[in-house]
């Protein structure tokens, strides 16, 4: 796991690591290795069709991880554990508003983004104004959302995706690629632009690296942080709509797995949990890498619980390296 080697100047002394300092490069190498391994285990694993299928699943995760990435970049233990709840909420809301009718798609999108934005706003206000640690605030929010969904829906599948949405997600849309992949590419371009070509992006990195210095340089620290939580929930809401399109109908717990996997995708992609460095390109690679791992585990007939164990261990392993980089900096 050389992926987590932080791009710290202090680390550049260790010789082999120098070449693996770029997490993006490492992620791509691992992706290729995993594809080869998958193909060896079960021929057809690395076929174009199968890769496309994996990319669709990765896109769903990648969109959630975009928001997670922003919150983590903002530093001060920034993390959003409520994304899974927002994904579920959005999927259920979208399904019920659409009710299988194309004419309702726009309304559904607006409702979901508004609901997501509201959840994120509450998260952000709790963290910045009331000083609740992000971990506690968003975990509490997750509990509230899950409880709410169970109370409303009693665990029964509900709502129906509009046919146009379902087609957008899984059928070829443009140049033989499904719409969801184009959406993911658009999210990727948007994130890259936001982070690298706008003053907001500069401010996000600034508060993540040295919040006090950013404050003394006139950055509206609280306002930016609230915005990050709001964006995170809106990305999760967007992913929720797509997941409805992917699954056709929605369950109250459809988004549960995204909490852990979105964090792993971000960390795999080279953004340390301490924030202030990294970016979304790595996270995109991280999301695909994670989905590949998941698929290989499925090929090896390891069930859902087994996969969760592997993911949990992966995250702990990554954090072990993250902890080390922090100690070095101190």
Partner 1 sequence: MSRLKLQQICKYYDATTALASGDLLLESGEIHVLIGANGSGKSTLCKVVAGSVRPDGGLFELNGKPVTLFGPKAARDMGICLFYQELSLANSLSVAQNINLYHLPTHAGGLVDEAELARRAEHYIDKFRKVVGENFSADTPVTKLRPDQKQLVEIMKTLASEAEILIFDEPTSALDRSQVDCFFSILRELKEEGRSIIFISHRMDEIFDIADRITVIRDGTTVSSRPINETDQATIIRDMIGEQHETAAQISVSPHDQMANAEICLKAEALGGTQLRNVGFSLARGEILGLGGLHGQGQSTLLRTLFGAKRLTTGTLELNGRLVHPASPRAAIKLGFSYVSGDRVRDGVITGRSIMENVSPIHFLKDRKFLAFPSVLSRVIEPALASLNTKYTSLGASISSLSGGNQQKVVIARWLTNPPDILLLDDPTKGIDLSAKSELFALVRKLADEGMAIILYSSEDSELLAHSDRILVFNNGSVSRELVGEDKTRFNLYQAAYSGAK
Residues in touch with partner 1 (CB under 8 A):
8-9, 196-203, 205-206, 209-210, 212-220, 276-277
Query: What sign has the CA pseudo-torsion 13, 15, 17, 22?
Result: positive
Minimum separation from the CB atom of position 315 to partner 1 (A):
23
Helix (H) or strand (E) holding 115: helix 105-128
Minimum separation from the CB atom of position 112 to partner 1 (A):
27
Q: Is 129 exposed, middle or buried (0-12, 13-18, 19+ CB in 10 A)?
A: exposed
Give the separation between CA 105 and CA 95, rounded to whole angstroms.
10
119, two tokens: 């959840």
Give the separation between CA 272 and CA 230, rounded to whole angstroms.
21
Q: Which of 73, 87 has the CB closer to partner 1?
A: 73
In DSSP terms, which residues pair with 178 in a beta bridge?
Answer: 172
Minimum separation from the CB atom of position 9 to partner 1 (A):
6
Minimum separation from the CB atom of position 8 to partner 1 (A):
8
Q: Which of 207, 243 has the CB closer to partner 1?
A: 207
Query: What sign has the CA pseudo-torsion 55, 58, 62, 63?
Result: positive
Give the separation between CA 155 and CA 174, rounded to whole angstroms.
36
Minimum separation from the CB atom of position 15 to partner 1 (A):
20
Distance of CA 44 to the CA centre of its chain: 28
Q: Which of 258, 280 has the CB closer to partner 1?
A: 280
- Residue labelled with tokens 């632009």: 193
Q: Which of 33, 217 has the CB closer to partner 1?
A: 217
Minimum separation from the CB atom of position 311 to partner 1 (A):
29
Give the separation between CA 199 and CA 296, rounded to whole angstroms.
41
Q: Which of 110, 217 has the CB closer to partner 1?
A: 217
- Residue labelled with tokens 């899950």: 146
CB 322 within 8 A of CB 85: no
Minimum separation from the CB atom of position 198 to partner 1 (A):
6
Q: Which of 277, 324 has the CB closer to partner 1?
A: 277
Q: Which of 80, 211 has the CB closer to partner 1?
A: 211
Q: Which of 19, 193 has the CB closer to partner 1?
A: 193
Minimum separation from the CB atom of position 183 to partner 1 (A):
24
CA angle 295, 263, 2 (to 5 degrees): 75
Give the separation between CA 101 and CA 105, rounded to whole angstroms.
7
What 8-state DSSP symbol labels residue 160?
A: -
């Amino acid at each position: 796991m050389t992926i987590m080697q932080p791009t710290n100047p202090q680390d550049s002394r260790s010789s082999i690591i120098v070449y693996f300092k770029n997490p993006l490069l490492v992620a791509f190498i691992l992706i290729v290795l995993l594809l080869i391994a998958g193909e060896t285990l079960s021929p057809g694993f690395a076929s174009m069709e199968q890769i496309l299928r994996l990319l669709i699943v990765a896109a769903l995760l990648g969109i959630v991880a975009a928001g997670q990435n922003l919150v983590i970049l903002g530093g001060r233990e920034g993390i959003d554990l409520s994304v899974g709840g927002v994904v579920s909420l959005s999927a259920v809301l979208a399904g019920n508003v659409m009710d299988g009718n194309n004419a309702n798609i726009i309304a559904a999108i607006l409702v979901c983004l508004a609901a997501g934005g509201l959840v994120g706003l509450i998260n952000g206000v709790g963290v910045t104004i009331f000083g609740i640690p992000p971990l506690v605030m968003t975990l509490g929010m997750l509990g509230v959302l899950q409880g709410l969904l169970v109370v409303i829906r009693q665990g029964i599948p509900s709502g129906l995706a509009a046919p146009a949405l379902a087609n957008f997600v899984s059928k070829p849309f443009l140049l033989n690629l499904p719409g969801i992949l184009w959406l993911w590419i658009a999210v990727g371009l948007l994130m890259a632009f936001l982070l690298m070509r706008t003053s907001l992006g500069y401010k996000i990195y600034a508060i993540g690296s040295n919040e006090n210095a950013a404050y003394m340089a006139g950055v509206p620290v609280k306002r930016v942080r609230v915005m990050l939580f709001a964006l995170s929930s809106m990305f999760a809401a967007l992913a929720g709509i797509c997941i409805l399109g992917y699954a056709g109908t929605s369950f109250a717990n459809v988004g549960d797995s995204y909490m852990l996997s979105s964090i792993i995708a971000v960390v795999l992609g080279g953004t340390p949990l301490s924030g202030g460095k990294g970016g979304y390109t790595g996270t995109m690679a991280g999301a695909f890498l994670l989905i590949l791992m998941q698929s290989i585990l499925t090929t090896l007939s390891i069930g859902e619980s087994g996969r969760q164990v592997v993911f949990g261990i992966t995250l702990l392993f990554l954090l072990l390296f993250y902890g080390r980089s922090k100690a070095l900096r101190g």
